[in-house]
Amino acid sequence: MTDKKDKPLERIWNGIYVENPVFCLILGMCPTLATTTSATNAIGMGLSTTAILVASNLMISLLKGIIPNRMRIPSYIVIIASFVTIVEFLMEGFFPSVYAALGIYIPLIVVNCIIMGRAEAYAGKKGPVESIFDGLGMGLGFTLALLLIGSVREIVGAGTVFGIRITPAAYEPVNIFILAPGAFLVMAFFVAVMNKLKIGAARRTGWDPTENGCSDCSSCARHSVCGGKKAVSGEEAGMKEVQA
């Protein structure tokens, strides 16, 4: 029987919000910070990564029974690299301007820790359908994160979005936002917003993640909020019970 956490909508929601690869897991920082100078570049990188995630997750899930355990990482790299090459050729042929803008970051998708991480943590252990939706969820979460960062950087740094001017003629662009420091500033803002949302949601259930109140994270549904940082050992929990 399929676990509730492995249902299609749960896997998509997990990638978009619960374990967003950029805002929650802080993965894929190289393309996130380097390719989000505009919304167009951001969505191009996000969608190409999503396609590779879905395809590689499916293939790895189908082949997990015949890939030797000691050869799984090299095998995963070969599978991912094959799909990256296909996507790279398609982008070069059909979207040459986006391909030129993204440059070296397209082939570097091969070593993107989001794709390798999902292959190792999920696709190599689950069935094809669950793996497809896991890749789709993580890819959409990655795309959404890049689109948000890229849009803010482009609007503030250039006064445009998708190349269309949306600010008044008198607006003076803040150029730092399309430079490297701007990427860190916008990224930090969205991470803070995500943390605030998750802490607020946890408090509405009667649990405050800023206070130690857990003794075991292994089966905790709220683990994605605190990441285990607020857990206390079993011995400490026992001492608290005695003291109470």
Say if residues 61 and 126 touch (Cβ distance below 8 Å): yes
Structural domain range at position 27: 4-203
Residues 172, 193, single domain; the answer is yes
Distance in angstroms (rounded) separating the CA atoms of residues 141 and 13: 9
Angle between helices 128-158 and 180-204 (to 10 degrees): 120
pLDDT at 174 over 90: yes
Query: 9-58: per-residue pLDDT in tens?
Result: 999 999 999 999 999 999 999 999 999 999 999 999 999 999 999 999 99
Q: Are residues 174 and 214 in the same domain?
A: no
CA distances for 174 relative to 132, 153, 157, 179, angstroms? 40, 9, 5, 10
pLDDT in tens, 197-244: 988 888 887 776 666 555 444 445 455 545 444 444 433 443 343 343
Same domain? 49 vs 157: yes
Share of the chain above pLDDT 70, in %: 83
Residue 1 has pLDDT above 80, yes or no: no
Of the candidates 48, 37, 49, 33, the one whose C-alpha atom is nearest the C-alpha of residue 161 is: 37
SS3 172: coil
* Distance from C-alpha of 144 to C-alpha of 119, rounded to nearest angstrom: 21
Are residues 197 and 221 both part of a single domain?
Answer: no
Tokens encoding 73: 């990482």
Neighbours of 103 (CB within 10 A): 12
Both 221 and 148 in one domain: the answer is no
Contact 158, 173 (CB under 8 A): yes
Per residue in 56-108, pLDDT tens? 999 999 999 999 999 999 999 999 999 999 999 999 999 999 999 898 899 98
Q: Helices (H), strands (E): how many in the chain? A: 10, 2
Q: Say whether both 233 and 129 belong to one domain.
A: no
On whether both 125 and 174 belong to a single domain, the answer is yes
Mean pLDDT over each residue of the chain, to the nearest integer? 85
144 and 238 part of one domain: no
Tens-digit pLDDT profile for residues 182-202: 999 999 999 999 999 988 888
What domain count does the chain have?
2
114 and 167, same domain (yes or no): yes
Q: What is the structure's pLDDT at 217?
A: 46
Residue with tokens 């000691």: 70
196 and 83 belong to one structural domain: yes
Tens of pLDDT, residue by residue over 101-137, are 898 899 989 988 999 999 999 999 999 999 999 999 9
Residue 213: what pLDDT? 52
Model pTM?
0.84
**pLDDT value at position 210?**
64
- In this structure, the answer to whether residues 24 and 91 fall within a common structural domain is yes
The answer to whether residues 120 and 92 belong to one domain is yes
